[in-house]
Structure formats: C-alpha cells, structure tokens
Amino acid sequence: MAGKARLEPVSSPALALDPLIHERVRLAILAALGSHGQLTFNELKALTAATDGNLSTHTQKLESAGYIQAAKGMFGGRSKTTYEITPGGRAALAGYLNALQRLMGEVQGL
C-alpha cells in the first residue's frame, strides 16, 4: 500500500466513559448521592423518576461494583434502606465526568 498514509490510533475520550455509570439511571443515582450524601430508596426514586424494580436493579449493580453502599434498618417500625456513594464510587464518577468533559471539548473543538 505504497503512498497511503497510515493513521495513528487515537483513543477517543468516549471510550473512557465507564459503561456502568453511562446508563442514565445509574448516572442519576451517583450524581444524586454525590451531591446529597446519604439518601433513602424513596428519595432516590423521586430524584431519578425510576420505578421500584428499576431502581433496585440499578442500585444492586452499583453496589456490586463498590460504587455505593446500602444500609438497611428499622425506623418507626418500617424497614428503610439508605444509600451513599463510596470513595471508589466518587472517584469513578469524577473519572467519568472528566472523560465526558474531554469528549465535549473534542467535539466542540476546544
């Protein structure tokens, strides 16, 4: 293939976006916990507009990844689950947002 310039592989910032966080409900969960601290299941449900089952599935995935932690307890005779972002989750969210910012800069030519 004489005469053809070879393109050097360049990694797109889009490839640095954590696929676990990239799903909109999981991103909303991490963003809410990152800015509000500890939230109950019902508070997260209201902030993310997720159904019970949908929120439960996404919080389980984030908890399995070590991005959030759940605490269950009895309050006023009722079971209550609260969630908070872990240091690893905060670092993953910051990395995701940095990659997103780099991608936006690349697309916008900044």
Q: What is the model's pLDDT at position 32?
A: 97
Which residue is associated with the tokens 């959030």?
68
Model's pTM, two decimal places?
0.83
- The CATH fold assigned to 18-108 is Arc Repressor Mutant, subunit A (1.10.10)
Tens digit of each residue's pLDDT, the chain (110 residues): 555 666 565 578 788 889 999 999 999 999 999 999 999 999 999 999 999 999 999 999 999 999 999 999 887 888 899 999 999 999 999 999 999 999 999 888 86
The burial class, CB within 10 Å (0-12 / 13-18 / 19+), for 11 is exposed
Please state, in angstroms and rounded to a whole number, the distance separating the CA atoms of residues 35 and 89: 13
